[in-house]
Structure 1
């Protein structure tokens, strides 16, 4: 299978490097020269890698990261440009928050070896090496890290619109890099799924979240946490027992835990996920349908699933600011959610305009960079 690469570059520098070092039979590359054409192509096609020279294309690195965050797939990203260095901390932080595979940030003139080293090999064979800011682990290292201290947790604050207070946060997986620092979970989740270890990853992540929450004291003890689970987890009929057992072990009130499953990850025609969700609900846990609008479920179909919360996909918020029809659709979704006795959350709240719209449309919770980025536990607790 060929590797698909999108190059956003008005010069021929990157095209020349690719043609010299990759065989045409292994690589299918598309070339666009400006930001408008890049957005059109990204909406229409899927790519394994996206390479962007911000200096020549006029597409800012931060804007590209924002677009990649909304794609329904997980490409590797390589950024190039002489002015990138001063923006790099912000670019890296945004990429990390969305678990984007930011493989490298390079300056002009392009160092060919550094550029080529940022790729996984073109056959997409994973090996044990560091590529840019993402680490690709062997299965043995992954398992060893799960059993020791490889997994880490960060929390992104969630704001109650009515009270204006932070009521808790969503817990995200991070990986302790061998050289220090935290890496996004994109490659780790992909490895777990490929190797059939999604249950183990979920159990360890839930255990870590419960262990941390169990140590919170005073007013912090009642803070809500949101934890992601996958369709693979829900198809395991023992999953509800394991989650309940961990809550008992760390003395966690199940009513303070919301388990999130993404809409695109939920097969409403399968019996096992529905039964597992009902068991979790019966045992006091709250349930949220995440990224609503990105998949195929409808609110009307959800009468058989005991959700407490709907998290509307971030793309609706951005579009609603610019398009009247999109705003009406978003407003209708929020109203219908409330009529079905569920609370409504909006992600991607990154500007004062976003927050004002969330308030105007009477959503219940807001989450995004304006409220707070995913952060270590000690910083998160200070927001409560």
Structure 2
């Protein structure tokens, strides 16, 4: 066998009882179950704050399956794979095997509390990792995105999707963002001696876009760490920018007047994308990562990316693709003239000291006779970007 104790049911009404009593590590969920459907159970699992790995399976149209998978991810569920019926048992063993062997980490469990997060901020247990952003046609590192982590104990890192909602709910998001800004700007000041044009991107919570004092606070922190405002990019999700549109316009306009750059994050994930681009002073557009991840397998995702790149360029915006996980995707995006790529193909998010080592290695792996970057940490150590006429 593949190492699982299993519990099976074909009755949706039995599923909640089985789930609460069995508490599985992996859930294999059929989207079609007679009287009910798997989408309803995805909603149930989201309400239960399920952290188990979920494998979807069905024989329905591919677009329906893809929609269900995207829904599950948007609900915060850990959708790890999609299988198509009829399913060969050997394929099932292959797909579930890594889960049984523990090679996929489901993340730390247990509830998180306000007092613990407050203590973590005060006692400097909040750390920042950096993921590089790569110019796809030259291989040059243009900047980094600062990604917050909560360090618990000596070696446990809690990912942001587990504690950012808590910070927003409890009002700790301002203190958390300030900690991220201070930490990352201190690092950016150090990098500036060697890489003066390297930009730093920091995410802004939607809850902060109603704080009229935000532009002055950001400017004050920039002065304290002696970092040029033009090196800071604040990323704003399109849905967040619409919660208080008038205040958001005022805040973002003042940030731009102070020299800070702005990026519309997760473009395509919200409902007011074109209005955002029309009304607000962005200089960069980041394509939502799910489109990029699906681009080579989904004609719809590829078409959306192509149109978004062209739209962004026509509006004078730099276009960034998040979620670049392999060489083929990087090459395809370069051929579409996407400006910048970001993703684990180039590098996973790294602590500051490891990022500096990565930067030196990346520079050392560049071919001086070519603009094609090389990356020793990539799955294939050959040419990362190849351009065609």
Select the residue among 65, 71, 74 that pairs with 2:73: 71
**Residue 236 (structure 1) shift:** 0.2
Q: Does the C-alpha gap of structure 1 residues 9 and 252 become closer, same or farther in structure 2, counting only changes over 3 Å?
A: farther
Corresponding residue of 1:119: none
Structure 2 length normalisation: TM-score?
Answer: 0.72
Deviation string for 1:69-128 (max 9, x for gaps)?
98223247899966436562xx33xxxxxxxxx35xxxxxxxxxxxxxxxxxxxxxxxxx
Q: Does the C-alpha gap of structure 1 residues 375 and 248 become closer, same or farther in structure 2, counting only changes over 3 Å?
A: same
**Residue 211 (structure 1) shift:** 1.7
Select the residue among 139, 164, 168 that pairs with 1:189: 164
CA RMSD of aligned residues (A): 3.7
Corresponding residue of 2:367: none
Matches within 5 A, 1:236-251: 236-251=211-226
**Residue 222 (structure 1) shift:** 3.2
Question: What is the count of residue pairs matched by the alignment?
Answer: 321
Say which SS state the counterpart of residue 130 (structure 2) adopts: strand
* 1:204 equivalent in alignment to 2:202: no
Corresponding residue of 2:204: 229
Matches within 5 A, 1:160-175: 160-175=135-150
**Residue 325 (structure 1) shift:** 4.2
Corresponding residue of 1:97: none
Is the 2:121–2:176 contact (alpha carbons within 8 Å) kept by the matching residues of 1?
yes
Matches within 5 A, 1:47-58: 47=46, 48-49=49-50, 51-52=52-53
**Residue 144 (structure 1) shift:** 1.7
Corresponding residue of 2:119: 144
Matches within 5 A, 1:118-129: none
Corresponding residue of 2:152: 177
**Residue 300 (structure 1) shift:** 5.0
Q: Does the C-alpha gap of structure 1 residues 149 and 326 become closer, same or farther in structure 2, counting only changes over 3 Å?
A: closer
Is the 2:209–2:244 contact (alpha carbons within 8 Å) kept by the matching residues of 1?
no
Farther off after superposition, 320-329 or 138-147: 320-329
Q: Which runs of 5+ in 1 are unaligned?
A: 1-7, 59-63, 93-101, 104-132
Q: Does the C-alpha gap of structure 1 residues 44 and 215 become closer, same or farther in structure 2, counting only changes over 3 Å?
A: same
Alpha-carbon distance in structure 1 between the residues aligned to 2:71 and 2:145: 17
Select the residue among 321, 343, 350 that pairs with 1:375: 350
Corresponding residue of 2:17: 19
Corresponding residue of 1:349: 324
Alpha-carbon distance in structure 1 between the residues aligned to 2:301 and 2:79: 29
**Residue 162 (structure 1) shift:** 2.4
Select the residue among 281, 286, 297 that pairs with 2:261: 286
Alpha-carbon distance in structure 1 between the residues aligned to 2:150 and 2:167: 13
Is the 1:134–1:183 contact (alpha carbons within 8 Å) kept by the matching residues of 2?
no
Is the 1:206–1:227 contact (alpha carbons within 8 Å) kept by the matching residues of 2?
yes
**Residue 382 (structure 1) shift:** 2.6
Is the 2:125–2:151 contact (alpha carbons within 8 Å) kept by the matching residues of 1?
yes
**Residue 175 (structure 1) shift:** 0.5
* 1:295 equivalent in alignment to 2:297: no
**Residue 17 (structure 1) shift:** 10
**Residue 160 (structure 1) shift:** 0.7
Alpha-carbon distance in structure 1 between the residues aligned to 2:323 and 2:159: 18
Q: Does the C-alpha gap of structure 1 residues 309 and 9 become closer, same or farther in structure 2, counting only changes over 3 Å?
A: farther
Corresponding residue of 1:116: none
**Residue 240 (structure 1) shift:** 0.8
Structure 1 length normalisation: TM-score?
Answer: 0.73
Alpha-carbon distance in structure 1 between the residues aligned to 2:20 and 2:32: 27
Deviation string for 1:305-324 (max 9, x for gaps)?
11000001122223432343
**Residue 12 (structure 1) shift:** 2.4
